[in-house]
Structure 1
């Protein structure tokens, strides 16, 4: 699943594809990475982590990091819990739930995560696929429950999408699984499918504890309760203080894998302005500065350095097509048409050492060799947007805004957080849409409300988007399958194409098919649009190793939680 992300965020991470917002700023100084990369370019320019071997770090120590929101729903597989911040929180304490059988290199190459799955093999015969998984004998949850065939069977049952009462983000490839059974023993899992599934890491990237086996537990059982007993990772939950909005982690004595360097990790829920002040005061050890205001405020902070790279984000136009008047495709098309994406990026990246061309895909970044531009309109501007509405039967009302049958094209843009540049971005978008004949206001919300508002679909248009993965196969189902996407937009023809493309073993051919589906869906339904991708610019405490922009290795900016730590003095 793709993680939702705010545009004005303190930090962001990804389990697969999470909802995220357009995050906080930087400037022309610091390491290289002044522009988005194109296909075939050197992606090493987009990674900056101060890489060090764990043996060269000071044993112990504490790292404190900010999050835009902590909870209230801690189940990242559910719509209410599907946020980048929630994933970032879970990475160090629940590798079972957020990594599962797979891990990723900086360029997105998947490999088997030996902490949980020692082997993951596939055999296709007569159009049927058999997958055999050898589970690590030592793998178990904190409550002592072994990670074995029962875990994999429950993961399939909870995520396959057959029960509409289970509030999953996406069924992904699980709907194509026929059975999950034990092989030679409970630590050997044999999975059979109704059709081949590619890529293989579409399955079991994140596991669901066997006890989380009812809709009630899945949907609401994690509200206000992290359930650390159902996790497994190098760290464990030491304290969750909901009043102070902090989570404290300690090394997990039950962890069978590599032991972490640190002896404490603290997460604090902070709005952007509070995170800036906390970093300057030495209270936290890293903070995103993806717009010019926080960058200027942080520039010159003692004992700090700037680390720059590519943010794995696509979005800016996240439309709730189930909420009138945005149920009318003409208004949605007018939004896409009225938007001046270059002008918005100029606001967003003002003062930063960052350039990028307009991206046209929610699923892949322009540096991907599989990328293609699928943005659905070519003629843009206020007059073109008014023509779209006029052709659909709208006419100006007394206030000068377009309306049809007495119903105006009126809605609001939801803006999260207190970053001035993010608000300026939203205000610029508002003016562009107003010039296009739409009556548009701004709905201001706190960063902490992000998961609740987006998960509950309590918005018209949100300046937010999703994390971007290295392969489009999973994203195309989550975003464009009519039975999966939250707007319920699509049709039988596109659904059939989506179902078929998972059977394509060739990566290039499969991704081309996925991109073609996106192109058709965007041109017909206009539900999500890309305004920008953007940089990841972080101010980091001097001496902090193995932390920073990490591309696909980790969107939480921690490539390996066991090696995060401080250089020896």
Structure 2
């Protein structure tokens, strides 16, 4: 389960891979305000009869995927999600209001036919085919379960939540009838099947982990792979002539890797038709002045975060040090400094499970708000004291120096880093920077825990509890997306398990907020602010832009007549 767009675990975004989140505003300067209500998208929505038949569109990837299996731990990224909607078996379609509906191109129905025990029946559209001509069947669902249920340690899934609760995936009345039987209840079951991959390339650990490295062997969507250039970092998709659903309007879609800082220039030069602005003020201001651009904004479940590493022997292994750092950062000032020109009323995000705009969002962070005096007391209690006349705290003669890692070419991360460094220096914490290669930061630094602090973004989902479990549960045998290896001393894992068995939405949400409160006590990470969902899009491009809580339908993306 992966938490990109709606999937089930949150996807890591290269800091500055500028994903979508809650921003309002338009193309004029001082009138911007943060959108606080969900339910809309800003995509120049048009009926397909208003669109040209043919043409191409060029879209950016801030980070080039090396692993094209989104369910594998190295593949969980928003860039890959943007591609996946065009070429993948996607059982459910996410809506702008945060709900999902059955994607009838792939499923005729998906129903909870029993709760004791829990049984889900999915009926696959008999027209559905993989690009190699093989029909999509129950065996594909079975292979995805076996790869992600955690029973075979040679598979490396991004998350096992929900999949591990399934006892069996069986054939029903025919090959297109799937019966999923749960040994334990799993309330957010629709979040399991974000993208399904073919059994032909998923049935062994080697296939799951390696078949999708630097290649996309099989697709199942309105588009298929025409060309993939891992050297030039360009992926060209073309209409799949065997696609059984509504005919796409575009002939081709080209994805090219362009760093966040270079995207405005690529847009101006015609190499890109859309730019994910996110919280990048410079990009926002540049595109405001571009006569060919429209700024499109919407509320979305995306947010910036400062992650900590609890590696033994380092300062942040102590929860009190993490709490001290949290209370030493003025997130109001940070937000205004970084994205104030886009969102003048930006405010801190105070929940890791729910975001503003979602029904169950509540402010759990008030007891951990900016307070330099309280921060100093926490650090003192942890043994890190300020020597007389000194500027950096020490313990056993060692200075309190913490490294902040972020990828090069991500101005948002760099700007946040400068503010964090300045603010923490005021409480005696010395922050240094480790700026790493963008295309290596995930596999060589993030995944393996090769950092002390790092700032990035998460993109949320309509299934916020199960989707975030891989981030916050600690399992030393399956780190999943708990990149900082933060141990669980607050019963967080047990709370997640409890939530999975609760089918009442209100009661499950109450458990979700208990989880967030425990994460604050743990000093797990620091949510910074909800990211602006802002895109600069070339005028005339329809059904693309700020999708909010929704996702692109590439069969409807095209150019106005």
Length-normalised TM-score, structure 2 = 0.91
- The match for 2:510 is 512
- The match for 2:467 is 475
- Residue among 427, 430, 436 paired with 2:418: 427
**Which is further off, 83-92 or 318-327?**
318-327
- Residue among 103, 110, 114 paired with 2:100: 110
- Residue among 272, 281, 292 paired with 1:303: 292
* Alignment check: 8 A CA contact 1:363 1:469 kept: no
Q: Shift in Å at residue 450 of structure 1?
A: 4.0
Q: Over aligned residues, Cα RMSD in angstroms? A: 2.5
Q: Shift in Å at residue 226 of structure 1?
A: 2.5
Unaligned runs of at least 5 residues, structure 1: 5-12
* Alignment check: 8 A CA contact 2:150 2:164 kept: yes
- The match for 2:535 is 538
Unaligned runs of at least 5 residues, structure 2: none
- Residue among 493, 496, 502 paired with 1:495: 493
* Alignment check: 8 A CA contact 1:318 1:465 kept: no
**Which is further off, 322-331 or 169-178?**
322-331
**Would you say 1:81 and 2:79 are equivalent positions?**
no
Where do residues 61-460 of structure 1 align in structure 2 (5 Å cutoff)? Answer: 61-94=55-88, 96=89, 99=90, 101-124=91-114, 127-211=116-200, 212-227=202-217, 229=218, 231-289=219-277, 290-322=279-311, 324-375=314-365, 377-378=367-368, 380-396=370-386, 400-452=391-443, 453-460=445-452
**Secondary structure, counterpart of 1:232 in structure 2:** coil
Deviations 1:501-528 (A, max 9, x none): 12222212211211212211321x2122
* Alignment check: 8 A CA contact 1:382 1:433 kept: no
* Alignment check: 8 A CA contact 2:74 2:447 kept: yes
Q: Shift in Å at residue 28 of structure 1?
A: 6.0
* Alignment check: 8 A CA contact 2:44 2:543 kept: yes
Q: Shift in Å at residue 138 of structure 1?
A: 1.6
Counterpart CA distance in 2 for 1:42 and 1:421 is: 25
**Secondary structure, counterpart of 1:58 in structure 2:** coil
Distance 1:415 1:488, change over 3 A: closer
Distance 1:359 1:527, change over 3 A: same
**Secondary structure, counterpart of 1:463 in structure 2:** strand
How many residue pairs are counted as aligned between the two chains?
544
**Secondary structure, counterpart of 1:466 in structure 2:** strand
* Alignment check: 8 A CA contact 2:236 2:253 kept: yes
Distance 1:160 1:488, change over 3 A: farther
- Residue among 46, 55, 59 paired with 1:52: 46
* Alignment check: 8 A CA contact 1:112 1:120 kept: yes
Q: Shift in Å at residue 81 of structure 1?
A: 1.3
**Secondary structure, counterpart of 2:433 in structure 1:** strand
Q: Shift in Å at residue 23 of structure 1?
A: 5.4
**Secondary structure, counterpart of 1:189 in structure 2:** strand
Distance 1:205 1:410, change over 3 A: same
* Alignment check: 8 A CA contact 2:166 2:180 kept: yes
Length-normalised TM-score, structure 1 = 0.89
